Amino acid sequence: MEVLSWLKPHQNLQKLTIKFYGAKEFPSWVGDPLFSKVTHLELYHCPRITSLPSLGQLLSLKTLIVKGMVAVKTVGFEFYGCGSSSIEAFPSLKILRFEDMLVWEDWSSSLVGIELKRVRQFERLHELQIYNCPKLVSKLPTNLPSLIKLEICKCPQLTYSFVSLPSLRNLNLEECNEMIFRSMVHLKCLRTLKITNISHLACLPNTFKQDMIALEDVRIEECTELTSLWEDRSNTDNLVCLNRIVIKKCPMFDPLAREAHQLVPSHNLEALELLGCNNLRRLPNELFNISCLRILRIIGCKELKSLDGIMKIDGGNNGNIMHLEKLEIIHCPSLKYFPSGKLPPTLKKLVIKDCELLQALPQGIMSNGDDDDDSILHLEEVTVGNCPSLESFPRGRFPPSLKTLLIEDCELLQALPEGLMCDNDNTLHLEGLRMQGLPSLMFFPNGQLPKTLKNLVVFNCRRLDLFPDRMLQNSKALETIEISHCTNLKALPLDCFNSLTRLSTLVISGCHGLESFPESQLLMPNLKFLRINRCKNLKSLPQAMYKLKSLKELKVKSCPNILVIPDGGLPLNLSLLFIDCENLKQPMSEWGLDRLINLHHLWIHWICPPENVLPSSLIELYIRNVADLKSLPQKLLKNLSSLQVLDISRCYQLQTLPKEGLPPSLGSLRIDECPVLQHWCLENKDSRRLIAYIPCLWIG
């Protein structure tokens, strides 16, 4: 403490931080106007300090942060450092933050007691942040002409303040008294308003919105007593710039409790989000007269039962909702049906998820094929997920504009929409199709998938047993196919390997009913990744697999009926090979490993390679589950001049490492669940000499 008192910093000091200072007051030099070049000052967690130093005459000070001063009760006139000749306090300050001032009660910002009505204060202040000051009661500074951002959080006692904020753009109030709204005036520049967890707030007062002609974004969260947005209609016409409203976790909010214009006072509104509003049962019809509404998100509204107004009834009009581009209905468990009619023709994205009682999708997502049908000309993305009561799609075809279709976790859905398949109709431009968690789905519609399709994922469709024979005949754009956990699937499409010239990734996993791959030519010149996992009845890998000249990674795991590598061996350009098939006992000399000059990573299970089989290009070698292996072949590792990682595990009878030693390039050796070998490595002096040079050793 004395050291800080005796310290005399240079007068060119620019930044000062004091933390955990234990004295009752700061040294006299802190705040001395002689330090005119100080621009940044932080005072943290000084538990015995009862008053702040005089800082107002630091002419260059731009940032001041005061945090954790738990003994300060008053910030008084001494804070400003104003004498009889002073006419301005904090002349350059732009950022002021008070945080965790747990006993602070009074902020004497008016400089009462001295003849200082002419003194200006905080005239250049841009940001004021007050966090977690639970006992602060008195007023804020009354005139902040340059303030742009104001944040007040966890100050429940702060009420009337009557602050003039002519330049304010961003206002964030959290866990404060609702009376604070009534004290703020001159908000003509306010653009964003965020209100969180304000007790007793039923609506925003009229005085608060009187001058907010620039307001663009309103977000209200966790206000448990909020019933409507505005107190009444007065002055709502001033809100011409308002384009986004978010109401989140306000369980009493109900726009039908008052007139609908109190929910949406601006015809320029572009986005409306109602999240966790449990009292919301339906949307007001007046909502759909908004000419610019582009985004409507309704999430977690448990009592919502009707969406009347979203759909356009034939021969009727539902206002200008027809400009909607994005509609999300998520976690609305009481919603059973969509109203009849057409969706807005401008709709691009439709998301329907977690609606437990929903039995039917909107008919408007499908086209009836008429030339004059303008129902959904721009729809690009449809997501339907976790709707356990949904049994079918509407009849008709998807619009040509559709690019992505995701259907997941719909337990009763028995059939996909017929309009998904194209036959000779090439109008559908679908690029991504994902079906996941459809346990009742038994088959695909007949026909061919769109020729524009790039990604196909079929996951956890347990009853699906067959695909249409020529389903992929025209799918020359396909880049990824993943078919996983379809336990009843008996065969892949006949044309699966014939013409997929752009396919780069093929994954077949958990398809226990699959016994073989189609007997066809492997016309997949760009296939880079092939993974076959947990297909317990699969008896062979694709024939002529060696022709896959672009294949970089091959992983085959837990396929107990695969006994041999197909004739011709492995693809020549592999860089990664993972083989874990317990009954594949074919001698590794017949695999063609020695020809794989680009192989860098090799995992082998259940069998140990003989000498002179492994390519010298190997960087990583993993040997696992070779139960009867007692010693590694003497020359197995001799030519592996690039080997950096050797991992041996679950080889319970393996006794020693090669006497000739390990490759000098080795940087990591891991031995796990090899009890005999582990004992040899730890107890034998010769073994320790063999491995002492390796930087990373792990012997479990």
Show which of 144, 165, 190 is a domain's final residue.
190
198 lies in some domain: no
Tokens of 165: 């904020």
pLDDT at 258: 55
**Strand (E) or helix (H) holding 4:** helix 2-6
Q: What is the arithmetic mean of pLDDT over 615-632?
A: 93
pLDDT at 323: 84
Q: What would the pLDDT profile of 104-147 be if each residue is shown by its tens digit?
A: 999 876 555 444 455 688 999 999 999 999 999 877 888 889 99
Show which of 143, 165, 190 is a domain's final residue.
190
Looking at residue 393, the DSSP 8-state letter turns out to be P
Question: 273 — phi, psi (to 5°)?
Answer: -125, 120
8 A C-beta contact, residue 473 and residue 447? no
pLDDT at 443: 86
350 lies in some domain: no
Q: What would the pLDDT profile of 572-581 be if each residue is shown by its tens digit?
A: 999 999 999 9
208 lies in some domain: no
Torsion of CA 649, 651, 654, 657, to 10 degrees: -30
Q: What would the pLDDT profile of 178-194 be if each residue is shown by its tens digit?
A: 888 777 878 889 999 99
pLDDT band at 262 (very low <50, low <70, confident <90, very high): low
- 14 Cβ neighbours under 8 A, 6+ residues apart: 37, 38, 39, 40
pLDDT at 116: 46
pLDDT at 417: 84
Q: What would the pLDDT profile of 364-397 be if each residue is shown by its tens digit?
A: 888 766 544 556 778 999 999 999 999 988 888 8
Weakest-pLDDT range from 228-242, 293-307, 368-382: 368-382
665 lies in some domain: no
Show which of 546, 568, 590 is a domain's final residue.
568
**pLDDT beyond 90 at 312:** no
**pLDDT beyond 80 at 348:** yes
pLDDT at 554: 97
Question: 260 — phi, psi (to 5°)?
Answer: -65, -30
Q: What would the pLDDT profile of 436-488 be if each residue is shown by its tens digit?
A: 999 999 988 888 889 999 999 999 999 999 888 888 888 889 999 999 999 99
pLDDT at 113: 47
Ordered alpha helix ranges (H), 566-668: none
The number of distinct structural domains making up the chain is: 2
Q: What percent of the chain has pLDDT over 90?
A: 53
User: Angle at Cα 682 formed by Cα 677 and Cα 685, nearest 5°?
Assistant: 105
- 678 Cβ neighbours under 8 A, 6+ residues apart: 671, 699, 700
**pLDDT beyond 60 at 263:** no
Q: How many CB atoms lie within 10 A of CB 598?
A: 12
**pLDDT beyond 60 at 26:** yes
In one letter, which amino acid is 188? K
pLDDT at 420: 85
83 lies in some domain: yes
Domain that holds residue 535: 414-568
**pLDDT beyond 60 at 52:** yes
Cα 623 to chain center, whole Å?
38
pLDDT band at 330 (very low <50, low <70, confident <90, very high): very high
Weakest-pLDDT range from 110-114, 496-500, 540-544, 689-693: 110-114
Tokens of 257: 């409790």
pLDDT band at 264 (very low <50, low <70, confident <90, very high): low
pLDDT band at 90 (very low <50, low <70, confident <90, very high): very high
**pLDDT beyond 70 at 161:** no
**pLDDT beyond 60 at 571:** yes
pLDDT at 271: 93
Q: What is the arithmetic mean of pLDDT over 593-609?
A: 93
63 lies in some domain: yes
Q: What is the arithmetic mean of pLDDT over 17-27?
A: 89
54 lies in some domain: yes
pTM: 0.86
Tokens of 592: 């063609």
pLDDT at 228: 86
8 A C-beta contact, residue 339 and residue 304? no
State how far the Cα of 218 lies from the Cα of 202, in Å rounded to an integer.
15
Q: Across the chain, what does the average pLDDT equal? A: 87
**pLDDT beyond 80 at 10:** no
The more confident residue out of 410 and 687 is 410
Tokens of 39: 């621009």
CATH number at residue 84: 3.80.10.10
pLDDT at 261: 47
**pLDDT beyond 90 at 512:** yes
pLDDT band at 423 (very low <50, low <70, confident <90, very high): low
Question: Of the candidates 273, 312, 309, 272, which has an alpha carbon nearest to the alpha carbon of residue 292?
Answer: 272
Q: What is the arithmetic mean of pLDDT over 82-107?
A: 86
249 lies in some domain: no
Question: Of the candidates 244, 360, 233, which has an alpha carbon nearest to the alpha carbon of residue 292?
Answer: 244
pLDDT band at 240 (very low <50, low <70, confident <90, very high): confident
State how far the Cα of 152 lies from the Cα of 93, in Å rounded to an integer.
18
